[in-house]
Amino acid sequence: MTNFEITTHVLPNEPELRESVEAVLRRAEENDGVAPFSEAFINGLGDARLGHEHLLIDDSSVAAVAPDGGVELVVSPELRGQGRGTHLVKQVLAEVENASLWAHGNLPEALQLAESLGLETTRRLLVMSVGGAALEQAAVFEAPDGIEALSYPQAVERFGRESVEQAWLDANNDAFSWHPEQGGWDLDQLHRGMEADWFDPNGVLFLYSGEQLAGFHWTKMHPAEGSDVVGEVYVVGLASAFRGQGMGDPLLRVGLDFLVRQGASTVILYVEADNVPAVARYEDLGFAITEDHVVYKRN
């Protein structure tokens, strides 16, 4: 295997190099049928606040390392099979004690690389999707007695921005206290999420019981590709005080209803594979597994 030279960069500070890396990401997605970097790591290419470090072999092979040890990797398709990915992963494992390497789509090359280095699967994140008649049925929303659905702008108008965002943040951190990426947020992280180009304040739906926030459904519309318009169940969070009351179903449906009214013909969501009850609930609504994303770590 060639001993490729690895250089370390902070790509938000190097716009020309960042553009080259972004072109590699596009070529890889077109070749593989799945994006090699998640949204957070794409954001890390241009937002220095996220604190990502980038290990490069020239401008064609990149390992991005987040402060929490999360790692995502891409090698330009025409340069694969030369050992570039192996060289990058070995360097990451030498530098990052708690490295968690994402393999989006868990492609055969990623599986082979993980096995060759003795890495083991520690997490599986599924993508599930629904469309057609099943989506239309799942998108039927009726507010439970005593519950009112409000969009973010409507809630802000009634309760004030500071109150709404703090309640939203509290519900998020309550619902995702266990989650490595979504839990433990502060207002700065919430506001960074709201800075996304795709963010639509009307696509954040709240269910209120009086002045108390029961839960939120943050939706996302993807850019249209041909006739298929994709919406996403981006984040759904139910406050613990409202669990066990049948609120999960209407909370999901209020967002699906919004996405369908925005023109979505397909809706996707991400769910942890070991969250068996959630996977079963989504399957009951017509969702099916379409992608498998895996984290590999040292054993």
Long-range pairs, 278-284, Cβ under 8 A, ≥24: 279/126, 279/128, 281/248, 281/249, 282/128, 282/130, 283/128
The answer to whether the CB of 271 falls within 8 A of the CB of 288 is: no
pTM: 0.91
- Backbone phi, psi, residue 247, to 5°: -85, -20
Residue 181 pLDDT: 75
Nearest to 54 by CA among 26, 13, 110, 82: 13
The answer to whether the CB of 280 falls within 8 A of the CB of 272 is: no
Residue 227 pLDDT: 78
The answer to whether the CB of 12 falls within 8 A of the CB of 48 is: yes
Of the CATH numbers 2.60.120.10, 3.40.630.30, 3.30.420.40, 3.40.50.300, which one belongs to the domain with range 7-117?
A: 3.40.630.30
CA Rg value for the chain: 20
Nearest to 266 by CA among 298, 220, 299, 297: 220
Q: For the segment 252-299, what is each residue's pLDDT rounded down to a tens digit?
A: 999 999 999 999 999 999 999 999 999 999 999 999 999 999 999 998
Judge if 7-117 and 128-290 fold alike in CATH terms. yes
Residue 176 pLDDT: 86
Residue 1 pLDDT: 52
**61-85 b/e (C-beta count within 10 Å ≥ 16 → b):** bbbbbbeeebbbbbbbeeeeeebbb
Residue 142 pLDDT: 95
Helix (H, G, I), strand (E, B) or coil at 260: helix
Structure tokens at 263: 């023109």
pLDDT per residue, tens digit, the chain (299 aa), is 567 999 999 999 999 999 999 999 999 999 999 999 999 999 999 999 999 999 999 999 999 999 999 999 999 999 999 999 999 999 999 999 899 999 999 999 999 999 999 999 999 999 999 999 999 999 999 999 999 999 999 999 999 999 999 999 999 999 888 777 776 889 999 999 999 999 999 999 999 999 999 999 999 999 887 778 999 999 999 999 998 898 999 999 999 999 999 999 999 999 999 999 999 999 999 999 999 999 999 98
Q: Which fold has domain 128-290?
A: Aminopeptidase (3.40.630)
The answer to whether the CB of 131 falls within 8 A of the CB of 268 is: no
Nearest to 72 by CA among 59, 55, 47, 97: 55
- Backbone phi, psi, residue 202, to 5°: -70, -15
Rounded to an integer, what distance in angstroms lies between the CA atom of residue 203 and that of residue 199?
8
Q: For the chain, which residues make up each domain, given as ranges?
A: 7-117, 128-290
